[in-house]
Structure 1
Amino acid sequence: MKKKRGSSDPWSSLNQTLLKMKLTVFILLLSIMGALASKSYSQTNKLTMNVKDVRVEDFLKMIEDQSLYRFFYSGEINVDQKMSGDFTNATIDEILDKALESKGIKYEITGRQVILSSAVSPLVANQSKTVTGKVTDSSGQPLPGVTVVVKGTTQGIITDADGKYSLPNVPADATLMFSFVGMKSQEVSVSGKVTVNVKLVEDAIGIEEVVAIGYGTMKKGNLTGAIASVKSEDLVKSPVASTSNALAGRLPGLISLQSGGQPGNDAASLSIRGFGNALVLVDGVEGSFNNLDANQIESISILKDGSAAIYGSRAGNGVILVTTKRGDNQKPTITYKSSYTLQGITNMPKPCSSGQSTELIRESWVNAGSVGIEPYTVEEIQKYYEATDPQYPNTDWYNYLIRDWAPQHQHNLSVRGGSDRVRYYGFLGYMNQETIWKKSGGDYTRYNLQSNLDAKILDNLSLQLDISSTIEAQKFPWRPMDIGIVWSDFWATRPMFPATLPDPTKISYAEGGGTGGAHITTNRDISGYNDTDNQNIKGSIALNYHFKSIKGLSAKAFANYNKSYINNKTFMKPVNFYKYDYASDIYTLGGSLGNNSLSMTRSLNRVVTGQFSLNYDNTFGDHHLSGLVLYELIDYYDDWLSAQRKNFLTSSIDQMFGGSTTDMSNDGSANEMGRESIIGRFNYSYKNKYLVEATFRADASAKFSSNDKWGYFPGLSLGWRISEENFMKHFSFLDDLKLRTSYGSSGNDNVVNFQYLTGYNLGTITTGGTYLFGTTTAQGLVSKGLANPYLTWEKIDIYDVGMDFSLWNKRLYGEMDVFYRQRTGIPATRITTLPSTFGATLPAENINSIDNRGFELQIGTTGESRGLKWDISGNISWSRAKWIHYEEPVYSDPDQARIYTLSGLWTDKQYGYVSDGLFTSQDEIDNLGYDQDNKGNVSLRPGDIKYKDINDDKIVNWKDQVIIGKGTTPHWMVGFNTDLQYKNFDFSALFQGAMGFYNYVTLKQSAVPTENYYELRWTESNNDADAFIPRLGGAASSSWTSDHYYKKAGYLRLKTISIGYNISKRWLAKFNIKEARIYTAGINVLTFSKLGKYGIDPESPSGQAGYYYPQQKTITLGINLSL
């Protein structure tokens, strides 16, 4: 209370679903309006109450509970004084006049707001006094050893064994600071007081912080597994379109790579310790959090070791637990957040100008010996450079098509509150993100809706009801914008063609790989559209029953229904594009996209989850026991349907009936699968010192035969909080020190369904099974192959040893882990020789195996000094995988064995040739001493790449390949985070980086090279042995895979930065606003990488520079309001 002043055919039900969504929004808005509504009070409003020896603070809360009056006061007001009174049918003035009499408190009433202030004379401020008091914990127990200091001085004292203190010579207007290990520090003004009693509460930032674990929660101090977590306030510091991008660099052991920036498809790929795609659970249900608004999320935890074993067959690569926000027992708080963001490309190669392009074309012909027949003369090239003659244009397609900054809007509204019996949380979010294309390039829109309700039906029976939905709409141009496709059009759009023609009704031809140019394929209005609608609705209900007869025992029933619809509609319009001759004023047809066509795909995904569990949690003296037994059923179903027609009579009719039935096509399929699981967990702690957790899970998968249907996955973890030992108590600087170790086993059933069954598939022209009867083709059946009843679970074992520590009241804290993981029974086909009469291929067996190893370290400091609060931390992690056994042939040639063998070696080694610069003269080639091109070096010229003869056999061939680098996924991940707060200002910055991975750098993009290609190439006038681009039209050997192109891609980014100001609560109170913050933020603001000189973002897909939707940097302005 204390406030400082201051169906079978889902598509036919789409309209019904939308109606439900509208009703839910309506209900949410009603809730918000209800929370805002207030009943006007008249001067005659009366209250009746009888109190005796209650604190002033408790008395004020009683008035608030019986009325709509709200009290505001500063820390100067002593609300710990006791008072008594009997009031019958009294006005607020009558009550306060009597209650606050002789308490040194005066009041002022404005509407329903009552502002309290000190009635003590200002002269007292110049006096000093002795202040006494008592410090207790949240349960009322005295706290010895609490530091009590006069703020801004070194004057202080320590509380005695009874939690009491007496501090003399305290200035009358001073502020006392109370601090204790594991507790939140407090500041209290002594103005008008000689007695100051303080109740310290546990610091949730430390060991008492509650984090999500498998099927439950636990205090961080009692964790025995390697679990990292991040809170909502860290996720929302810089607004992101996809929540996964807010995790990079924040959690040790999490590998995050954002391989593109396409709106609606810009999520980072997340891998825990490099294991692969992790299981994601949102409020306990399998799903994705990429399309959630970060403001919906309360916390995210990642289970990295054996703690994930409780999720069994789905948890082999680790688990990400996402917990959304819920209500509380406070008065309603309405929060509105709005932000405006500008998005720009981080780094991307730019195409050459007309002059550069034609110069390179001529150069390549000359280098190839085609002198005298070059496509462009020197004079023509000069005209393209000058670009004054309309016959020789120089079109900057990058600036014509791509904008520097694309806008993004985000708004969300939430309400949170409740009572001891009912708690509620509602959320409504909106985001719109435009593409980088200037000319009708489309956008992405998302709506998020959530309603979480907790209700206590009986004293021992509670209900949890959650409903959420996400509606997404991607409206893009006809050509897909991910890797390839439209980017191929872009790099084939030549600058030697104009962007527009004198006749505005005609579209200019610019090649574009047969499409006419990217100015056509990136424009929805010209070439057509590619639209995708995605609607997800999820609902869950849970009942919790606490047995009165058995303390600590409860039962829970939980059910969830999760359904997603995805509709894609792609319509291509017929487009003619023209060439224009300025001299003759004649237009000629340059080409056409062809006839219009329509393709539609509709898919449905449904997951139904049911759980029933018994939970036990109790404390017996120094012993704490908790346990869980849970039964779970999950049913999966998905289907899809597609259709296509061409040759529409008009582009105005973009419906399927408008197309020709000739050459029309359709397809579809459906799948269903289920899992049944039995789960158990047991936790024991003695004096919060010795910690044990044991888990067990049995999974049944419908994918395997009855003999191998069940998989069994145990887990065990131990913890020892050494800091709780008596022999450690004299180390006063030690807050917490814990050693832990864990083992967990999980499985994997990610194989084709029902391989243990024999059967047939419908035949097709490509797979066989079609038969010719006369002139008629009939569809038949083809065998699925040999039945495979022996394929079973892949097994995954992980071992972890770790330590957590905190020193000097968290002035220094950290955690470290070392892990080893082994996967066995990975399906593979055994390599053997079969008789030619066998007639089938062998089925897969559980024979391959692989292991991972690595470590993680996080160190940080937090504290406060002279009004400056800080939390600074850094983390680093390393992991790498090695094949234990990989089914492969036995190589007789030693070089084949060296290069191609995988067993016993790192999984991501890259072989290639070793370069030795470029040839700079013909003499160097003639005196080389070995045959590089296998032709006596006759194809080599100055400017070609020179390779080393590694085995010194006088010839360069495949046997000279050696390891030239690692793979394209980072081994090292680093993060450095700084959070500062001074008075009403806050600042945060997060640096994130990755090392130990490579990118194959390619700069020549289809028909149009990049500016970097032009500037970094070898020429006769730039006869540099270290030039990156060899001579144009060079020898074939210059394109071999080598370390010349395979470059280290390590980087360091300023991933997020934000600066905010919290407006004074005293000023906001005049407008009935609780909190208000204005801020500016940025994402991917700075990047340090050796790939930058090539115009390549370090997170770009290897070898795809310029051929994908580039990553974005953002600048944001925003405001947050709480009412």
Structure 2
Amino acid sequence: MKNNSSIFSAGTRVTRILFLFSFCFLSLYTYAINASKYAQEKTLTVKVQNKTVKEVLDYIEKNSEFIFFYYNKAIDTKRSVSMHVKDKPITTILDRLFEGTDVQYEIKDRQISLKKGSVQQRPQDKKQQKRKLTGKVVDEETNEPLVGVSIVAVEENRGIITGIDGSFSIEVYNNTKLQFSYIGYKKQILLIENQPILNVRMQPDNAMLNEVVVVGYGSQKKGNLTGSISSVKSEDLTVAPIATVSNSLAGRLPGLIATQSSGQPGSNSAALNIRGFGNALVIVDGIEASLDNIDANQIESVSILKDGAASIYGARAGNGVILVTTKRGINQKPIITLNSTFTWQGATSMLKPASAGQRAEMEREKHLQAGLPESSAPFTEEAVQKYYDGTDPLYPNTDWYKVLIRDWAPEQQHNISVRGGSEKIKYYGFFGYLNQQTMIKKNGGKYERFNFQSNVDAKILDNLTLQIDLGYTQEQRDYTTRDMSPGLNNMWQDYWNTLPYYPASLPDPNKVSYAYGAGTGGLHVSSNRELSGYSDTKNEDLRGTASLEYKFKAVKGLSLKIFESYRKVNMFGKTFTKPVQLYTYEPNSDTYTLAGTSGGNKATLSQSVVQESTFTQQYSLNYDNHFKDHHLTAMALLECIDYSSNTLLAGRKDFMTTAIDQMFAGSAVGMTNNGYASEMGRMSVVGRINYSYMDKYLLETILRADASAKFPPGKRWGYFPSVSLGWVISKEKFMSGIDFIDNLKLRLSYGQSGNDGVGNFQYLSGYSYGHAYLFGDESMQGISPTGLANPNLTWEKIKISNVGIDFSFFDRKLYGEMDAFYRERTGIPGNRLASLPSTFGAGLPPENLNSLNDRGFEIKLGTSGQWNELLYDISGNISWSRAKWKYLEEAELTDPDQARIYLKSGKWTDRVFGYVSDGLFTSQEEIMEAPHYEALNGNATLRPGDIRYKDLNDDGIINWKDQTDIGKGTTPHWMYGFNVALAYKGFDLSALFQGAFGYNQLVASNQLSTLLYEERWTSINNNSNALFARLGGSSSNSWQSDFASKKAGYLRLKVASLGYNLPKHLIEKCKLSNVRLYLSGTNLLTFNKLGKYGIDPEAPNVGCYYPQQRTISLGVNVSF
């Protein structure tokens, strides 16, 4: 009953979403139709006296969206004309302009072709013969010939490149369009008529410097940036169909640490850490939002603010900011894009359980090597052999991996978008669907996501614009009742506890086989939603924003902007646990025995409803103006953010039947319920001034003031300034003779931000419910204080300094950026360690006590260009960062060894102390000669196969004083990436290698795997360098040491993609503008030293986990 209603409900939701999208699409398409009427509706006023035809055409292009194509020798553009036409369509103006001449025109939307005689369509049949066109391409400014310019006949998708002297020769039809493109120059499309020679002058393109980069509350030209800001474009994020945006960012941006600790569908995002600071603030289209419920195809660009540039977001930006901008409409006819991908997911690395014979042998070995009697051994030698033989039905050998886990799980991703507009209105619409299945073969769950986005820009008046954005995301996670996230008590622990000594199924299909599973009956039970129940969650994320900008006509460059947004998140959780009876089977007597019950005796149900809302208001005055060589921009902004949350929890148990999974069907006896709500708000005032002189000397200043209700009156406001400077050295006169330098810029910045990451109302005394007390015959509820209040608690302060340099040489044949930074945090909340008497009844409150600092650097280098018909862009980046405690409230230690090991002030924050191993003992003589193990009261319990530790202080004793720094924490200090993008004719190839080092992973041998069986120490191999110590060994084998804590550096082929764009002349017959077929993959190859342990280098250090996934995808992208 549950499944049917769920399917019906899901179908209804999909229908509603499709209906909504269709409605928006039809509305936007109406705009597109209107846009196509531009030529009919646009009117112009032309008043000229004795001007040339060329000057008139230039005037029309400047004051409209029309573009003229013509051949200078065919059209007399030097002819002088006088005319006065007011508010007339383009056809009237052109009729007047060419009155009495043989010039005719053809209008296609905004493109106007001029020629002598009648304008005809270019014949595509065999009646028209190709002819030779020759010419030369030069730099417009220097008149130097350009070598390697790509010349493509647009309709035929074929082309050539220019020679050493810039010359070219190509076979063309008359009325062919040729596209001229070259790195560092503006692309040109020219209409070829009957001229035999064509000389082309190409204009240098400063697009890299003029590229717009999103920054806090606005955007800037990349060439004018003074802060440390890295960005990535949409096309880089969508090279391969990766389900989460966070994983798409890995390895692409210097300073960004991305670690994926799980491959679980719906929970497989990467933790993003900027410069090792911690979790960054994520802003999507101006509001705080989640990064991983967005489809990467919606995104236009992603920027990360790493230094003082993040100060503009104040209290929330102490760890840096990730800015996400979704796509918007453009002024052209509508482009509809369909993208469909089918993917197969498989584990990058996954240990397999030992076979029945191997496990039985290791269980027996472990028992005996622990010094226990053979009479109590779990298996006899005869039984072990029978498990190996596999011929006796009483000694089965079940390969649970093969029974339950699929090597490749399916995934599919589909989306459709429409983008276009006119001068008055622009629009973008998107609908996406993602479905990921889990690795479990039977009823193991899935993750589904629906994305909808609608962005509309409307020009109401010449000086008044309106933006309205709507976004909706629905996520459905259908999981098992056993948790799949990393931990010690989860479904993946059941994977190891499901014993191969039991059969996967029984002769009676209505009975479930018992396989231990540490109380769950086995993974075949806990992973099967139909058997053991389900744990489902549905998240709905609705986002709406409206922005109105008014430009004052009286004051040039002054504008007022009002931005309002509302975000509502609903989370519905439902867990229904069903009891499962488990049986063993005796084939000789054909009898079943009830061995236990999983999930209790009766079904239980728990449900939760969480509602969160965020209301953001921004009011800003903006100024942008040029004064000769001076450019000044300024912003004053008031921001108010209100947060609220409501939670409701309920549960019942003792369900009479598992057929009804509704709350009313459970027993009211022992039912539970709970609920709570919270509110929080922020008010901020932000000011920013940007100044540039000749685009050579750059200045940016920011001041933000934040007020937080978490602090007492008088302590609520925090003030966070920043300043940054830029010097474009390449524009200095003394650099004019150095031709190979395209761009060279020095950047300096200093900024402050804050952190209010403490509990609410710590400055007030609070109480919580305690035990009930009996006074006479009446029970009274007791309360207890939550702790002392601190009326002086205030903001943690964060200061960061950055120096950087950007450069580009040899027409971007070499480009890059380098940054170095230092960050200091002061006033980090902590509790004093002063002891209080137990009768005091409360703990000391948090104070602004502690401080630490971070330092690091980042380097990015790249090259791009063209070799014959091969376009290439190759780049790499590497970054390092590490933090050190400046002061940490801790106990005073006088013993020098205790201070060395345990005190943290003045030391790196992620030091790991332990023993240094020296292989394994291989004989009793080695043990007798070894230093005395103090914790073992001598070496009497040591045996060959145990870990030998080094006596570092040479005192003849192995004890805690021999511990030393054996490694680093689990967060990498070094991150690097290497990206290759190639394009040849219709083919494109890209590969992203990503890696990390400077961190450690644990390689404990807790699970009885095939790897442990093959690589453990035994008396037969007596290998002092075995990967794992003897089974049942000394307790000293579990001491923290470098035997289990290993360096985890790796290099991974994170993304690879091969695509092919079908020729234009084939797809245009189907009215299509582009068709791309592609094959891609993620996590395809991994190179690291942990591979021999069967561990993925990004695996968590805690318990068992859903393995990281490699994917292989086939997809098609169609535009029309």
Do the structures match in fold with TM over 0.5? yes
Query: What SS is found at the alignment partner of 1:403?
Result: coil
Which AA in structure 2 matches 1:460?
Answer: N
Q: Quote how far apart the aligned CAs of 1:654 are.
A: 0.6
- Within a 5 Å distance, the mapping from 1:97-246 to structure 2 comes to 103=116, 107-108=120-121, 122=130, 135=140, 143-144=141-142, 147-149=145-147, 152=161, 154-156=163-165, 182-184=184-186, 192-193=194-195, 194-196=197-199, 198=201, 200=203, 202-204=205-207, 206-246=208-248
After TM superposition, the structure 1 stretch with the greater mean CA deviation from structure 2, 805-814 or 1022-1031, is 1022-1031
Which AA in structure 2 matches 1:442?
Answer: G
In structure 2, the residue matched to 1:574 is 579
Shift in CA distance, 795/15, structure 1 to aligned 2, threshold 3 Å: farther
Query: What SS is found at the alignment partner of 1:224?
Result: coil
Shift in CA distance, 775/873, structure 1 to aligned 2, threshold 3 Å: farther
In structure 1, the residue matched to 2:86 is none
Which AA in structure 2 matches 1:972?
Answer: W
Query: What SS is found at the alignment partner of 2:365?
Result: helix
Shift in CA distance, 955/50, structure 1 to aligned 2, threshold 3 Å: closer
Report Cα offsets for 1:545-568 as digits up to 9, x if no partner.
Answer: 000000000000010000000011
1:621 aligns with 2:618: no
Report Cα offsets for 1:508-532 as digits up to 9, x if no partner.
Answer: 0000011100000000100000000
Report Cα offsets for 1:563-594 as digits up to 9, x if no partner.
Answer: 00001100011110100011111100010022
Q: Quote how far apart the aligned CAs of 1:477 are.
A: 1.5
In structure 2, the residue matched to 1:547 is 552
In structure 2, the residue matched to 1:444 is 447
After TM superposition, the structure 1 stretch with the greater mean CA deviation from structure 2, 351-360 or 1069-1078, is 1069-1078
Q: Quote how far apart the aligned CAs of 1:778 are.
A: 3.9
1:1114 aligns with 2:1119: no
C-alpha separation in 2, matches of 1:221 and 1:39: 33
In structure 1, the residue matched to 2:666 is 659
After TM superposition, the structure 1 stretch with the greater mean CA deviation from structure 2, 876-885 or 1066-1075, is 1066-1075
Which AA in structure 2 matches 1:571?
Answer: F
Q: Quote how far apart the aligned CAs of 1:954 are.
A: 2.4
**Pick from 705, 720, 731: which aligns with 2:738?**
731
In structure 2, the residue matched to 1:140 is none
Which AA in structure 2 matches 1:780?
Answer: G
Structure 1 gap segments, 5+ residues each: 1-12, 109-113, 136-142, 158-166
Which AA in structure 2 matches 1:533?
Answer: K
Report Cα offsets for 1:865-897 as digits up to 9, x if no partner.
Answer: 201100000000000000000000110222211
Which AA in structure 1 matches 2:537?
Answer: T
In structure 2, the residue matched to 1:1080 is 1079
**Pick from 760, 768, 787: which aligns with 1:753?**
760
In structure 1, the residue matched to 2:1057 is 1058
User: Is the contact between residue 87 and residue 95 of structure 1 (CA under 8 Å) also seen in structure 2?
Assistant: no
Query: What SS is found at the alignment partner of 2:659?
Result: coil
User: Is the contact between residue 75 and residue 115 of structure 2 (CA under 8 Å) also seen in structure 1?
Assistant: no
C-alpha separation in 2, matches of 1:338 and 1:14: 21
C-alpha separation in 2, matches of 1:65 and 1:832: 74
After TM superposition, the structure 1 stretch with the greater mean CA deviation from structure 2, 194-203 or 264-273, is 194-203
Query: What SS is found at the alignment partner of 1:780?
Result: strand
Which AA in structure 2 matches 1:483?
Answer: P
- Within a 5 Å distance, the mapping from 1:845-994 to structure 2 comes to 845-931=847-933, 933-994=935-996
In structure 1, the residue matched to 2:393 is 390
Q: Quote how far apart the aligned CAs of 1:476 are.
A: 1.3
After TM superposition, the structure 1 stretch with the greater mean CA deviation from structure 2, 1033-1042 or 292-301, is 1033-1042
C-alpha separation in 1, matches of 2:138 and 2:931: 92
- Within a 5 Å distance, the mapping from 1:594-613 to structure 2 comes to 594=600, 595-613=602-620
User: Is the contact between residue 148 and residue 182 of structure 2 (CA under 8 Å) also seen in structure 1?
Assistant: no
**Pick from 17, 20, 26: which aligns with 1:24?**
20
C-alpha separation in 2, matches of 1:46 and 1:435: 55
Shift in CA distance, 837/646, structure 1 to aligned 2, threshold 3 Å: closer
User: Is the contact between residue 56 and residue 81 of structure 1 (CA under 8 Å) also seen in structure 2?
Assistant: no
Report Cα offsets for 1:618-639 as digits up to 9, x if no partner.
Answer: 0000000001000000001012
Shift in CA distance, 679/1024, structure 1 to aligned 2, threshold 3 Å: same
Report Cα offsets for 1:332-380 as digits up to 9, x if no partner.
Answer: 1111100000000110111100000000011112212322432212221
C-alpha separation in 2, matches of 1:455 and 1:1113: 43
Which AA in structure 2 matches 1:348?
Answer: M
In structure 2, the residue matched to 1:1046 is 1045
Which AA in structure 1 matches 2:555?
Answer: I
- Within a 5 Å distance, the mapping from 1:336-351 to structure 2 comes to 336-351=338-353
User: Is the contact between residue 71 and residue 115 of structure 2 (CA under 8 Å) also seen in structure 1?
Assistant: no
Which AA in structure 1 matches 2:430?
Answer: F
Structure 2 gap segments, 5+ residues each: 1-8, 47-51, 80-93, 150-160
User: Is the contact between residue 145 and residue 180 of structure 1 (CA under 8 Å) also seen in structure 2?
Assistant: no
User: Is the contact between residue 138 and residue 145 of structure 2 (CA under 8 Å) also seen in structure 1?
Assistant: no
In structure 2, the residue matched to 1:1018 is 1017
User: Is the contact between residue 828 and residue 845 of structure 1 (CA under 8 Å) also seen in structure 2?
Assistant: yes
C-alpha separation in 1, matches of 2:184 and 2:391: 74
C-alpha separation in 2, matches of 1:196 and 1:489: 74
User: Is the contact between residue 35 and residue 332 of structure 2 (CA under 8 Å) also seen in structure 1?
Assistant: no
Q: Quote how far apart the aligned CAs of 1:227 are.
A: 0.3
In structure 2, the residue matched to 1:250 is 252
Shift in CA distance, 793/18, structure 1 to aligned 2, threshold 3 Å: farther
Report Cα offsets for 1:223-246 as digits up to 9, x if no partner.
Answer: 000000000000000001111100
- Within a 5 Å distance, the mapping from 1:369-380 to structure 2 comes to 369=371, 370-380=373-383
User: Is the contact between residue 147 and residue 180 of structure 1 (CA under 8 Å) also seen in structure 2?
Assistant: no
User: Is the contact between residue 231 and residue 298 of structure 1 (CA under 8 Å) also seen in structure 2?
Assistant: yes
1:647 aligns with 2:646: no
1:636 aligns with 2:643: yes
Shift in CA distance, 401/180, structure 1 to aligned 2, threshold 3 Å: closer
In structure 2, the residue matched to 1:161 is none
In structure 2, the residue matched to 1:464 is 467
Shift in CA distance, 216/81, structure 1 to aligned 2, threshold 3 Å: farther
**Pick from 709, 722, 729: which aligns with 1:722?**
729
Report Cα offsets for 1:763-796 as digits up to 9, x if no partner.
Answer: 1xxxx24223457644333223222110100000
Q: Quote how far apart the aligned CAs of 1:489 are.
A: 1.3
User: Is the contact between residue 738 and residue 803 of structure 1 (CA under 8 Å) also seen in structure 2?
Assistant: yes
In structure 2, the residue matched to 1:284 is 286
User: Is the contact between residue 815 and residue 861 of structure 2 (CA under 8 Å) also seen in structure 1?
Assistant: yes
Q: Quote how far apart the aligned CAs of 1:29 are.
A: 3.6
C-alpha separation in 1, matches of 2:758 and 2:75: 66
Query: What SS is found at the alignment partner of 1:489?
Result: helix
User: Is the contact between residue 35 and residue 421 of structure 2 (CA under 8 Å) also seen in structure 1?
Assistant: no
C-alpha separation in 2, matches of 1:208 and 1:947: 61
In structure 2, the residue matched to 1:809 is 811
C-alpha separation in 1, matches of 2:555 and 2:1023: 84
Q: Quote how far apart the aligned CAs of 1:107 are.
A: 3.0
C-alpha separation in 1, matches of 2:609 and 2:249: 32
User: Is the contact between residue 229 and residue 300 of structure 1 (CA under 8 Å) also seen in structure 2?
Assistant: yes
Report Cα offsets for 1:408-445 as digits up to 9, x if no partner.
Answer: 11110111111111010000011111111001111111
Query: What SS is found at the alignment partner of 1:707?
Result: coil
C-alpha separation in 2, matches of 1:100 and 1:28: 35
C-alpha separation in 2, matches of 1:456 and 1:972: 48
Shift in CA distance, 1015/732, structure 1 to aligned 2, threshold 3 Å: same
TM-score, length-scaled by structure 1: 0.89
User: Is the contact between residue 418 and residue 424 of structure 1 (CA under 8 Å) also seen in structure 2?
Assistant: yes
Query: What SS is found at the alignment partner of 1:437?
Result: coil
User: Is the contact between residue 786 and residue 842 of structure 2 (CA under 8 Å) also seen in structure 1?
Assistant: no
Over the residues paired in the alignment, what is the CA RMSD in angstroms?
Answer: 3.5
Query: What SS is found at the alignment partner of 1:727?
Result: helix
C-alpha separation in 1, matches of 2:205 and 2:904: 53
TM-score, length-scaled by structure 2: 0.89
C-alpha separation in 1, matches of 2:894 and 2:115: 101
